[in-house]
Amino acid sequence: MPLPFHTSRFVEFSDTDMAGIMHFSAFFRYMEAAEHELLRSLGFSVYSEIDGDVVSFPRVAASCEFHSPARCEDVLDIDVTVRRVGTKSVTYGFEFSQHGRDVATGQMTSVCCRVPHGEPPVSIPILNAVADKLREMAGD
Amino acid sequence: MPLPFHTSRFVEFSDTDMAGIMHFSAFFRYMEAAEHELLRSLGFSVYSEIDGDVVSFPRVAASCEFHSPARCEDVLDIDVTVRRVGTKSVTYGFEFSQHGRDVATGQMTSVCCRVPHGEPPVSIPILNAVADKLREMAGD
Amino acid sequence: MPLPFHTSRFVEFSDTDMAGIMHFSAFFRYMEAAEHELLRSLGFSVYSEIDGDVVSFPRVAASCEFHSPARCEDVLDIDVTVRRVGTKSVTYGFEFSQHGRDVATGQMTSVCCRVPHGEPPVSIPILNAVADKLREMAGD
Amino acid sequence: MPLPFHTSRFVEFSDTDMAGIMHFSAFFRYMEAAEHELLRSLGFSVYSEIDGDVVSFPRVAASCEFHSPARCEDVLDIDVTVRRVGTKSVTYGFEFSQHGRDVATGQMTSVCCRVPHGEPPVSIPILNAVADKLREMAGD
């Protein structure tokens, strides 16, 4: 059974736009922050190094559907689900709500990569310890 | 036959992240800016008013697939296609490339809305003059 | 005697740049968020309305000196001091540090304004209840 | 006699906030972009490498005074002046205006630094070729 990860986020003034609501691009930053928080909850940093190369999780895909506006000073509940764990990639689902009101639904796929300085990222297998915990969250 | 709209964008230092590449959330801001530029090219402002209410195009969906990194000082070519024009909504496709290298592919659906001050947006039909031009671009 | 207000902030991946450190513009967003948190701690929202007009605190000046880098996943301590309370404006000082290491020092002056829809902001006196509490924090 | 550098900037929807005006933090990103454009106009990239270490110009100080609001779709004129060129640092002044209306005045001091991977930046002398051109612009 999948184990969702829960976090929340306060909508700041600087995340709003002149339509008076939170700008849609901010949802993607919030998703990334929630993903990183989930990884830290498993004892894994967003950003580590192997032999001097950075190991990170760049995204290969991100999407979001916006159902109702988020506003300044709203506290958004964010439920993160691990949807799929591959050898090198993870897919997460995100549910944003406020006091039970559905706000947005998103998805992101991140690929474990070694990022040699100034060169293109190279995908690598996710560390076993991390993959195991993510699979546990996915209910696999 | 669809008429694509072309624009370009210079990747700024402030759009990069510590992995040394353009942050993925910036693609969504670039898509919105390209959409607005397309609308202006048709003589339509992003943001107008009817009877004191703002008329705008909030997004209901946005997605992007990231194929290769964009870096600081890259000039990204952005081809925008009008994919579908409904009564109240428009779907755009975006192709990001640099010197012919495929960088990312995105899609966004925006809904024409009246945004009464401090209240939820209310979808309204796209003005005929605008819808006609968008349909022409879509090749309908 | 001045009563400082304390808050903290987690540095997110999306606030870093390709130099591997937090982008300097993020300090200004963090200062604004801390200012708003201070106002909320006094029972005052960032953003209220009088007769349908928005009342807000746009900035007239902001400055920051950067002493040492902030990095992804750092937790920054932020001490906010109310430096001066005028009839219509407030000046705040900000000290950023991490585990006692001095990171940055900032200052911002905000002016209480009525913002009529689509027109320039008009400065107005700060509500007495708010001004009194701010003066108390300033040690006046 | 100082030689000012001129550029301009289109204010995008995503740079506005719920007060209906450009968010103050965006001025700092615009200043940085203008600084980088000035450096490129002298044939110098924002971001180079010496022996595998990044050479960049982190800021030690930034300030801005906001005189009147900038709005979505405004084209801001930006005049950049080189105010002072030291051995390791440069101070720039920025004047933002729109159709002759004074919008904001800023200043930034950047220090030439070698940024060893994951370590604090180390200030180094500005390359002679660059310093000479900057001094010419400063009217020294």
Chain D touched by B128 (CB under 8 Å): no
pLDDT at A97: 98
pLDDT band at A64 (very low <50, low <70, confident <90, very high): very high
C-alpha to C-alpha distance for A31 and B40, rounded to whole angstroms: 31
pLDDT at A127: 87
D99: left (phi over 0), alpha (psi -120 to 50) or beta: left
Q: Are C86 and C140 in contact (CB under 8 A)?
A: no
Taking the C-alpha atoms of residue C67 and residue C104, their distance in angstroms, rounded to an integer, is 5
- pLDDT score of C53: 77
Tokens of residue A96, six digits: 């944003």
Let me know: does B70 contact B30? Beta carbons within 8 Å: no
Q: What is the pLDDT of residue A2?
A: 79
Q: How crowded is the C-beta side of B21, counted as CA atoms within 13 Å?
A: 22
Is residue B47 predicted with pLDDT exceeding 80? no
Query: Mind listing the pLDDT tens digit for each residue in B58-84?
Result: 999 999 999 999 999 999 999 999 999
pLDDT at C68: 93
Structure tokens of D7? Answer: 């550029």
Position C3 confidence tier, pLDDT thresholds 50, 70, 90: confident
Whether residue C47 has pLDDT greater than 80: no
| Residue of A12, A15, A16, A18 to mutate, interface with D, max D Cβ within 10 Å | A18
Question: Which residues of chain D are within 8 Å of residue B32 when distances are taken between CB atoms?
Answer: 12-14
- List, in sequence order, every residue forming a beta bridge with C85; answer none if it has no partner: C90
Please name the residues between 76 and 115 in chain A that touch chain D, using a CB distance below 8 Å.
none
**pLDDT above 90 (res D94):** yes
What mean pLDDT is predicted for residues A12-20?
Answer: 92
CA distance C6 to chain B (A): 28
What mean pLDDT is predicted for residues C21-47? 93
Would strands B59-66 and B101-111 be described as parallel, antiparallel, or unpaired?
A: antiparallel
In the predicted model, is pLDDT for residue B19 greater than 90? no
Average pLDDT over residues C64-89: 96
Instruction: Say what the pLDDT of residue B72 is.
Output: 93
Q: What is the pLDDT of residues B108-140, one digit of tens each?
A: 999 999 877 767 789 999 989 899 999 999 998
If you search the block for the tokens 């059974």, which residue do you land on? A1
pLDDT of residue B4: 86
pLDDT score of B131: 93
Q: Does C75 touch chain A (CB under 8 A)?
A: no
Read off the tokens for A13: 């003034």
Mutate to test the interface with D, among C49, C64, C71, C108 (most CBs of D within 10 A): C64
* Residue positions counted in chain C: 140
- Which residues on C lie below 8 Å from B52 (Cβ)? 117
More confident residue, A121 or B106: B106
Cα D109–D114–D116 angle (5° rounding)?
A: 130
Mean pLDDT throughout A35-41? 95
- Label residue B50 by pLDDT band (50, 70, 90): confident
Separation in Å, CA B106 to CA A107, B102, B140, C28: 14, 12, 21, 31
Tokens of A77: 């509940």
pLDDT at C103: 98
- Higher-pLDDT residue of B54 and B106 is B106
How far apart are the C-alpha atoms of A131 and A136, rounded to whole Å?
9
The whole-model pTM stands at 0.96
pLDDT at A24: 97
- Helices and strands in chain B: count of H runs, count of E runs: 2, 9
A66-90 pLDDT tens trace:
999 999 999 999 999 999 999 999 9
Interface test with C, best of D16, D63, D105, D109 (most C CBs within 10 A): D63
Task: Dig out the tokens for C102 from the structure.
Answer: 């001095």
Residue identified by tokens 């390209």 is B34
**In chain B, % of residues over pLDDT 70:** 99
